[in-house]
Structure 1
């Protein structure tokens, strides 16, 4: 990047932070009106799409047009598909048990606690995780081999996530499967195809920002933080703690990879 591009990128960082905050505060207001905080999970994907679109507009004249468009479309397709999927999955259901449990144990006013621990935290994470999307838009180089590889990794992750979600939705919609563990399709290769897909999506987007060592170093925190969230934070760890008591889960876990896909073991350990 040139000096002007770095200055524009700095402004973009500030605008993206304000935008992520605005999306989360708006979602918080809607959640209070509805008395239900699970809609913040829908806002997560929407916020990333909003940051990507705003970055695309602000970066005009600075970055390579092909790279700008590719990264913007990739982020918007991922974020809006995820938002739509979560909204459809939650339609007709009450509060998410995770949020109900967390807020029932909140010290002081649960609304203030939710604002601080859920909405403001997620706004900060949107800004931090989207750093490669923002940086890539200001790079003057075309995608090249590394950027194209990044899009291939992104596409692989997107397919894993979308197909895994679709397979699970079809399985759980059948009343005959109530109470059973999903162990078919991609779910026989990994216990979390959707989380593994997310993992690939953000490492792929990171590669699109690696045209210079400065942007590669600056944005590395994004896929690292996302990976930590998916494996040790609010993703795999919490879900498996919730699933541990279900009949058949121990056997399923014994034969199926915990994260990275592999063929299922024929004889569980």
Structure 2
């Protein structure tokens, strides 16, 4: 029998657990001024919510197991990878300008709290007493959300290019984001199946439908905030700068390196051109074979297939011209 904690939907208890985890992690990180547990606390928070609601709900039907385990496996992978990455780098550059500011740093943790709580809603409600009271076994469909898209992104690409060209990464520049979006939409579809039960109360049915905010939130986050925007244009800009600097090295005699100055290799001058070819050949999100993708009209690529201008660095833009001016001024100093 399900265990009721504060309310029949586990909304309050999951929020309070998340608040406690994120508040403690924030205080530790702010006091010690480090980033070792910043992202780890987010991933582990997902795991804890899925586990606690599954155990308290006391309903171990296939839908509950699959949805909860999918979240826990995803959380382990995410938390483990992000912890390994920050330990290897020593710090997270994203927080350099806010780490010492209590309110700005705290705002990040508040956002992380809402991210975890909102995105976890489908599993939270699915495992809650109001839904667990329905004893019929649902039909479990192949949503592909149970780790089918937990790709490994550690492969060798073209020399000098920061790209991966093996496995599904050959067909998509960001299959990890595609898999994450698909995962949460799959979990929501699995959850919403319970709304078809004739014995469910109207308020519970409305709450199940409202959990669609979870996949919508994660989709918006990855498409417009912390996903593609941070993974696309900054990389393109960096390669453009390296290529332009390399061209200057070939045309302008290089003076001795000053302390802290980066050594520029002349062979890097083609990086930007190579990367542009890679962009034209590879889908930004949806896994599509390269030859098929190249045959698709540009109008479809830049609309339905999400290769939007917000993700592209324009070498003819004012921003690019300013970068060129700064590079040339630095070379003449």
TM range (shorter): 0.7 to 0.9
Judge conservation of contact 1:192–1:259 (CA < 8 Å) in 2.
yes
Task: Note closer, same or farther for the CA distance 1:188–1:179 as it changes in structure 2 (3 Å cut).
Answer: closer
Output the CA distance in 1 between the equivalents of 2:69 and 2:36: 26
Provide the residue aligned with 2:172 in structure 1.
190
Output the CA distance in 1 between the equivalents of 2:223 and 2:172: 13
Provide the residue aligned with 1:43 in structure 2.
41
Provide the residue aligned with 1:171 in structure 2.
156
Task: Specify which of 82, 86, 94 is matched with residue 86 of structure 1.
Answer: 82
Provide the residue aligned with 1:9 in structure 2.
8
The within-5 A match list for 1:96-111 is 96-100=92-96, 102-103=97-98, 110-111=101-102
Gaps of 5+ in 2: 196-204, 240-270, 299-333
Q: Secondary structure at the match of 2:8?
A: helix
Task: Note closer, same or farther for the CA distance 1:79–1:205 as it changes in structure 2 (3 Å cut).
Answer: same
Output the CA distance in 2 between the equivalents of 1:171 and 1:41: 26
Gaps of 5+ in 1: none
Please give the TM-score of this superposition, normalised by the length of structure 1: 0.80
Deviation for aligned residue 1:20? 1.0
Judge conservation of contact 1:71–1:137 (CA < 8 Å) in 2.
no
Provide the residue aligned with 2:215 in structure 1.
223
Judge conservation of contact 2:26–2:106 (CA < 8 Å) in 1.
yes
Judge conservation of contact 2:36–2:87 (CA < 8 Å) in 1.
no
Deviation for aligned residue 1:6? 11
**Greater relative contact order (Cα 8 A, min sep 6): structure 1 or 2?**
1
Residue 123 of structure 1 pairs with residue 121 of structure 2: no
Output the CA distance in 1 between the equivalents of 2:36 and 2:234: 17
Output the CA distance in 2 between the equivalents of 1:9 and 1:32: 35
Output the CA distance in 1 between the equivalents of 2:189 and 2:173: 26
Which structure has the bigger radius of gyration? 2
Deviation for aligned residue 1:34? 4.3
Please give the TM-score of this superposition, normalised by the length of structure 2: 0.66
Q: Which one is further off, 118-127 or 21-30?
A: 21-30
Output the CA distance in 2 between the equivalents of 1:120 and 1:103: 14
Task: Specify which of 2, 19, 22 is matched with residue 21 of structure 1.
Answer: 19
Deviation for aligned residue 1:71? 2.4
Output the CA distance in 1 between the equivalents of 2:5 and 2:136: 17
Provide the residue aligned with 1:257 in structure 2.
283
Task: Note closer, same or farther for the CA distance 1:6–1:22 as it changes in structure 2 (3 Å cut).
Answer: closer
Output the CA distance in 1 between the equivalents of 2:218 and 2:37: 20
Output the CA distance in 1 between the equivalents of 2:144 and 2:137: 14
Output the CA distance in 2 between the equivalents of 1:33 and 1:169: 34
Deviation for aligned residue 1:186? 1.6
Instruction: Render the CA deviation track for 1:149-194: whole Å, top value 9, x for unaligned.
Output: 2x63212xx332x32xx2x33438xxx9555322332222111111
Task: Specify which of 101, 105, 122 is matched with residue 132 of structure 1.
Answer: 122
